[in-house]
Every structure is written in structure tokens, then in C-alpha cells.
Amino acid sequence: MGAAMRRIHVGNALSAFGLGFTVPYLYVYVAQVRDLGSMTAGLVLAVFAVAALIVLPFAGRAIVWRGPLPVLLAALVTAAVGSLGLGLAGNAAAVLTAAAGLGAGQAVMQPALATMIVDSSTSETRSRAFATQFFLQNLGLGVGGLIGGHLVDATRVSSFTLLFAIEAAMFLLLAVVMSTVRLPHAPRVGDVRRSARGSWKQMLHNRAMVQLCVLGFVLFFACYGQFESGLSAYGVEAAGISTSALGTALAANTAMIVVAQFAVLKFVERQKRSRVIAAVGLIWAVAWVVAGYAGLGHGSRTMATAAFVSTYALFGLGEAMLSPTVAPLVADLAPDGLAGQYNSAFALVKQLALAVGPAVGGPLAASLAAPYIVTFLLFSLGITYLALRLGRRLTAVQDQPWLVRNRVVARGGTPVEPVAAEV
């Protein structure tokens, strides 16, 4: 791991740590502490999604033209201003404006940091780099949420202002750290600008990338889009899970990722990426079956709680398998110089899934428990089908990047970067 990659990982941890301070308490802060009501709190969450959907199409082009570092620094400053604005806002208009800034900044950070990881890694080290990023993000969110929970007091507005100020400080500290990064592959602006003009059209003709985006939408819709809405509503309404048990389930998810990430990585690095994603679909299908037992079975309260916690742990295992698989695959499918465009497109798909998932899953889980479980069980099996179908579209090196290193060792030659998928 070079100096640039170490600083990028430190930056990822800092941003996640800052977000962990505020994300779990945002709804309570707006609705109750600021006394703006549940409607405004719901609008704040919607503004996050809308802001991301607006800026991401432009973020990809900006990363291609200017490079990921300037775009990241602009996003961090925007997020810091938005975070501090949320902590000081006293009316609905100010809260929504600040939320738009924070949401836009957060959204642009993802593809910018991902592109910096791509530029600072090789096809051989990329899976481990993204696995480390995911590990540090979850660790930072967990530690930040734990510390924030001890600092916050629902009776004191100043305690929430402190949380948002800490989050803003983390973004600014990250900007300082990132400004010292020297990327090994600076973009060739003239060549990249010419290729960027038709980059969206070119990407839509890349069948492997289109299939990966469809698969990504299903992945985020069936898992991440259900964590804080459908699955939690199902646990409370159908399974009778207490709020403390729900917190335990979320902690089990994070703990599984932190404990299993690098153990899983050793296995995943030697497998076909398409088959790893297909295996995740089967693991999540089992998770939905276990969730079905928690809410629809006739076991004791203790058994239902254990099953529900196990569901979140199984989702965490699947996430640990995906982190060194999906993001590096996006990078390997991107033509030279267009990694930022492809990362932004995939982030846009993710945001769409995270916006649609709660809107569909929440009401369905609260009123129709059995159809909810069956629906997302089928979506998980759909992940397996889509992953195996994608595998037929990938080149051998895109599906098994470790083949490059094996060929180099066997021939004593120099590694060759994988070619783009069939378009």
C-alpha cells in the first residue's frame, strides 16, 4: 500500500466517522429537537436522495475532465457547509437547504474516492483496496454512531449542534488530508476531454456495464434499501422485535463486516467475480427465509429475536463478499480515463435503488408481511440469476483478475491491464 492509498483510506475512515455522528439521529433532530414535525424530517431524507440524483450525472463528467481530487475537495467543502448549516438551522427552509448541500457533497464523495482508489491501485491490488475501504467505512460509522449516542441529548439543541460541528470538522480534516495526496495517474486532460464527449453513449453501449448497473440496482434495492425501512418495519410489526433488539441487529451487521471482511477476501480473490455475486444472492435468500421465520413462524420471542439478528448478520456476510468484487469490476469495465464516469453512473444507480427501496419496502412490510418476505426472497434469487448472466459477458480477466498475475509469474513477463468488455 503506497502513501497515496494510505491517505485515501484514512480519509474514508474520517468521513465515515463524521457521518456516524449524525446519520442515526437526523430524523429525531429535525422532527423533535427542532420541533419541525415528521413531515419536514421526511422531506430532509428525500432531499438527500434528490440532491444526489441531480449532481451525480455532472460529477462523473467533472471527474473525467478535472480529475477526482479537485472534485472531492469541492464536495467536502460543500458537505461541511451543509453539515454546519444543519446544526445551526432553526426553520424548515434552512434545514432543507443545508440538507441539500450535505446530500450533494456526500453523493459526489463516493465516485471521487472510488476513482482515486482506482488510480492508486492495479488490477491485482484493487479488490483488497476496496475491501479495506468498506471495512474502514463500517468501522468509522459504528464508532462514530457509538460516540455520538453518548454525546447527544434530545433535550438540548446544543448537543446536536456539537454533533454536526464535529461532522463538518471531519469533512474539513479530510480535505486537508486529501490535498496532500499525489495520484500516480493524473488525467491527460486533452485526450480525456475528447473521449468524454461521447462517454455516456459509449457506456450505454457497453453491455457488460449496463448489465452490471441492472444487477447493482437489484442488489441495493433488495438489501441496503430495506435496512432502515422495510426490514426494520417488518421486525417491529410482524416479528414483535423491540427497538433495542433492532439496534442489536444493526450492530450484528457491522460486527460481521468488521470480523469477516479480510477472511472473506482471501476466498473471494481466487474466485470468479460473477460467481461470488451469485453466491451473495443465495446467502441473502437464506437471510430472507430466516427473517420469514422471525415474523411468520410460531417460535418464542427469544427465537424470533435471534432469527432477526441472524438475518442482519447474513446480510453483513454478503456485503463483505461484495465490497472487493463489485466496485473493482466497475473500474475494470471502464475504458482508460473514464473510471470517474463509470463510478458516478454506478453511484447514480445506487442512489435510485436507495430512494425506491424504502418507498416500496416500508409500506409493504408494515401491512403485508408474507408478500414482503416472498418478494425480496425472489429479488435475492434474481441477483444470482443476473450475476451468472453477467459472467457470460465478462472477459476472463475481468471475471478473474488474478489470472493476470498467474500469467506473469508463469511467463516472467510484465502485467498487462485488462481490456474493456465487449461493446
Task: Output 384 or 146, whichever has higher pLDDT.
Answer: 384
The whole-number average pLDDT for the span 120-148 is: 81
Q: Of the candidates 211, 225, 243, 214, which has an alpha carbon nearest to the alpha carbon of residue 394?
A: 211
Cell numbers at 34, concatenated: 427542532
Least-confidence region, from 150-159, 177-186, 319-328, 350-359: 177-186
Q: Are 145 and 58 contacting, i.e. CB atoms less than 8 angstroms apart?
A: no
For 278-337, what is each residue's pLDDT tens digit? 999 999 999 999 999 888 877 778 888 899 889 999 999 999 999 889 988 988 888 877
Report how far residue 321's alpha carbon sits from residue 248's, in angstroms, rounded to the nearest whole number.
Answer: 22
The answer on pLDDT for 387 being more than 90 is yes
The pLDDT-based confidence of 411 (bands split at 50, 70, 90) is very low
Main-chain dihedrals φ then ψ at residue 335, nearest 5 degrees: -60, 160
Chain-centre distance for alpha carbon 98: 22
pLDDT band at 185 (very low <50, low <70, confident <90, very high): low
Tell me, what's the pLDDT at 281? 95
Half-sphere exposure of 72 (CA within 13 A, CB side): 28
Q: Read off the pLDDT band of 200 (50, 70, 90).
A: low
Give the Cα separation of 326 and 332 in Å (integer): 10
In the predicted model, is pLDDT for residue 357 greater than 50? yes
- What is the percentage of the chain residues whose pLDDT exceeds 90? 21
Which residues fall within 8 angstroms of residue 293, CB to CB, at 6 or more apart?
299, 304, 307
3-state secondary structure at position 89 = coil
Of 38-52, 161-175, 364-378, 387-401, the least confident:
38-52
